[in-house]
Amino acid sequence: MATKAAFKRLTREYQNIQKNPPPFIIAHPSETNILEWHYVLTGPPGTPYENGQYWGTLMFPPEYPFAPPAIRMHTPSGRFQPSTRLCLSISDFHPKSFNPAWEVSTILIGLLSFMTSEEMTTGSVSASESERRVLAARSRWWNSTGGGSHSSATPGVTKTTKGINNVKAGDGGLKFRTEWPELDQENWAWMKEHRIDTSTGQILPDPNAPTKCSPETSALRRRPNGSAPGIGAVMEGGHVAREAGQSWARRNRLWIGLAVLFGYALLSRLVSDVQG
């Protein structure tokens, strides 16, 4: 349970972050526990995380702001291990380095800055830029479906909003939906619009899409035949002849080179005999 000082401080910070949310960051405390905060980072432009939706939690100690929170990111990002405590100067790994003047917005700005860097720490992972872009594109799907588990039960996983510190694929998106109902609705509308298979996160084929190329594309792929009789044949014939000539020269370039050298030697000898 939060102390009076922690409750008062976090209540004020929630009001501040509502009025002036930092760029690419939204956050709020849980309705049942003011020490449990949920945040969503939007991947900034120009990064491998662009437009990604990264959901995580801050678990504050009762003595906040004199001790830092535990920081986790649940959404797979290619930067952090999902639902793993992160070792940062602003997290509970380094309580002595935490400044009581730092607020929730300060912590999340620091997290976003660290995310877009390549510095490694406990809880971080290595991944290629392309892998991180794929995960960014699948982040909305993962958040709202629990990694595709919304449509079928996962053995050994009980769907519950408790145990928020260990959010894994398998809860059917229940925890995300509980904390972010509006974002969840937006995500489902986005998946429908983009024909996302909610079980796999892959794009479904469009049954209304034409199976053949457009006439314009087909025309560009055809050889030019011309409008008058014989024009296509002349162009085709010239093209074939040119290719045939080039292929014969390539096949016989060794003999051609020897013939040139022999001719040059013979010509040099004849000139020498004439001068002698």
pTM of the predicted protein model: 0.71
Question: Do 185 and 245 fall within a single domain?
Answer: no
CA atoms within 13 A on the CB side of 53: 16
Residue that finishes a domain, picked among 193, 226, 244: 193
In the β-sheet with 53-59, what is the strand arrangement from edge to edge? 25-29, 36-42, 53-59, 70-73
CA atoms within 13 A on the CB side of 36: 12
The confidence score (pLDDT) of residue 226 equals: 41
Question: Do 72 and 151 fall within a single domain?
Answer: yes
Question: 210 pLDDT band (50/70/90 cuts)?
Answer: low
In this predicted model, what pLDDT tens digit does every residue of 47-80 receive, in sequence order? 999 999 999 999 999 999 999 999 999 999 999 9
Tell me, yes or no, whether 205 lies in a domain.
no
Question: Do 140 and 246 fall within a single domain?
Answer: no
Q: Is the pLDDT of residue 90 over 80?
A: yes
Tell me, yes or no, whether 203 lies in a domain.
no
Tell me, yes or no, whether 204 lies in a domain.
no
153 vs 131, higher pLDDT: 131
Question: Do 161 and 247 fall within a single domain?
Answer: no
Which domain covers residue 259, as residue numbers? Answer: 215-275
Question: Do 169 and 223 fall within a single domain?
Answer: no
Take residue 231 and report the two structure tokens written for it.
């024009």
Tell me, yes or no, whether 93 lies in a domain.
yes
Residues 149 and 173: their CA atoms lie apart, in Å, by 8
Q: What's the average model confidence in pLDDT over 203-222? A: 54
Question: Do 152 and 223 fall within a single domain?
Answer: no
Of 87, 125, 137, 174, catalytic: 87
Distances in whole angstroms, Cα of residue 142 to Cα of each of 83, 151, 165, 171, 173: 13, 13, 17, 11, 8
231 vs 209, higher pLDDT: 209
Residues 167 and 146: their CA atoms lie apart, in Å, by 9
Residues 194 and 106: their CA atoms lie apart, in Å, by 35
Question: Do 55 and 186 fall within a single domain?
Answer: yes
Examine the residue annotation and report whether 87 is marked as an active-site residue of this protein: yes
Average pLDDT score, the chain: 80
Tell me, yes or no, whether 207 lies in a domain.
no
Residues 63 and 71: their CA atoms lie apart, in Å, by 16
Question: Do 9 and 122 fall within a single domain?
Answer: yes
DSSP states of 192-203: HHTTB-TTT-PB
In this predicted model, what pLDDT tens digit does every residue of 226-243 receive, in sequence order? 433 333 333 333 333 334
Nearest to 85 by CA among 57, 114, 106: 57
The confidence score (pLDDT) of residue 166 equals: 55
Tell me, yes or no, whether 198 lies in a domain.
no
Tell me, yes or no, whether 206 lies in a domain.
no
Structural domain tally of the chain?
A: 2
182 within 8 A of 156, measured Cβ to Cβ: no
The confidence score (pLDDT) of residue 241 equals: 36
Least confident interval from 28-37, 53-62, 167-176, 211-220? 211-220
Q: Count the Cβ atoms, other than its own, within 10 Å of residue 199.
A: 14
Question: 208 pLDDT band (50/70/90 cuts)?
Answer: confident
Tell me, yes or no, whether 57 lies in a domain.
yes
